[in-house]
């Protein structure tokens, strides 16, 4: 699956003002909060490849390209990237995960994630929809509290899906719709994907 994404990572606990803003942007019930723990493989000096163990499945993400910086008003600036993901749902059938975990260096990341989903249209504003629906074109938004090596972080991310040729536009219209004067200031310096974040925390 190919997606177009923009993410930010900030150290420290999730500010209450950011949580309140995120909830206020939603005109329906936010998807149930997801609590989980993922294992990420340490890949020194590598910002374009992400290998993750999640509930027994193995997920690989490869950055295909970096697009231009997206500037929204004077509050948000982020790096937009195109990623492709593969997932081996029952990796235990092919891999001995105990051996994999013993022979490689993995970082454990605890997550508490809230999500929103928008359906996008060629000439209409994005529409907030539940996760029970599966639109062909759209953009997911996630606000995640992270804990790694006893340190707290938080992250905001946009992930557009559907026709790859339309994903940048889809991401942009959703970003513009939910950014408002109450939104947190998000700068380009803190905008990157998980592989670079993992390099920063070591």
Q: 162's torsion region: left (phi>0), alpha (psi -120 to 50) or beta?
A: left
Task: Check residue 45 and give its pLDDT.
Answer: 86
Under the banding of pLDDT at 50, 70 and 90, the label for residue 103 is low
Residues 23-49: tens digit of each pLDDT? 888 765 567 789 999 999 988 889 999
Task: Check residue 138 and give its pLDDT.
Answer: 94
Task: Check residue 173 and give its pLDDT.
Answer: 95
Is the pLDDT at 130 greater than 90, yes or no?
no
Q: Are 155 and 6 in contact (CB under 8 A)?
A: no
Q: Taking the CA of residue 195 as centre, how many other CA atoms within 13 Å lie in the half-sphere pointing to its CB?
A: 15
Strand-pair category, 76-88 with 57-72: antiparallel
Residues 50-101: tens digit of each pLDDT? 999 887 788 999 999 999 999 998 889 999 999 999 988 655 555 555 555 5
Task: Check residue 1 and give its pLDDT.
Answer: 92
Tokens found for residue 109: 């990341």
Place of tokens 């493989």: 41
Residues 132-174: tens digit of each pLDDT? 888 999 999 999 999 999 999 999 999 999 999 999 999 999 9
Domain containing residue 21: CATH number: 2.40.320
Which residues have a Cβ under 8 Å from the Cβ of 136 and sit 6 or more positions away? 162, 163
Under the banding of pLDDT at 50, 70 and 90, the label for residue 200 is confident
Task: Check residue 170 and give its pLDDT.
Answer: 95
Which residues have a Cβ under 8 Å from the Cβ of 175 and sit 6 or more positions away? 6, 70, 72, 76, 158
Strands (E), the chain: 2-11, 34-41, 49-54, 57-72, 76-88, 106-119, 127-129, 138-148, 151-161
Nearest to 107 by CA among 66, 149, 161: 149
Domain count, the chain: 1
Domain enclosing residue 183, as ranges = 2-201
């Amino acid at each position: 699956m190919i997606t177009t994404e923009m993410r930010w990572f900030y150290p420290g606990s999730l500010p209450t003002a950011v949580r309140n803003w995120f909830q206020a942007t939603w005109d329906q019930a936010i998807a149930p909060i997801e609590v989980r723990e993922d294992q990420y493989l340490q890949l020194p000096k590598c910002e374009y490849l992400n290998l993750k163990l999640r509930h027994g499945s193995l997920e690989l993400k490869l950055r295909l390209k970096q697009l231009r910086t997206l500037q929204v008003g004077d509050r948000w600036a982020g790096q937009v990237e195109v990623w492709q993901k593969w997932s081996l749902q029952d990796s235990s059938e092919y891999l001995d995960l105990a051996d994999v975990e013993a022979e490689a260096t993995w970082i454990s990341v605890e997550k508490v994630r809230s999500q929103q989903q928008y359906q996008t249209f060629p000439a209409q504003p994005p529409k907030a929809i539940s996760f029970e629906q599966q639109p062909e074109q759209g953009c997911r938004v996630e606000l995640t509290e992270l804990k790694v090596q006893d340190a707290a972080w938080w992250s905001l991310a946009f992930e557009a899906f559907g026709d790859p040729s339309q994903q940048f536009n889809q991401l942009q219209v959703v970003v513009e719709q939910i950014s408002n004067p109450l939104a947190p200031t998000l700068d380009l310096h803190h905008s990157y994907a998980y592989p670079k974040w993992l390099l920063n925390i070591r």
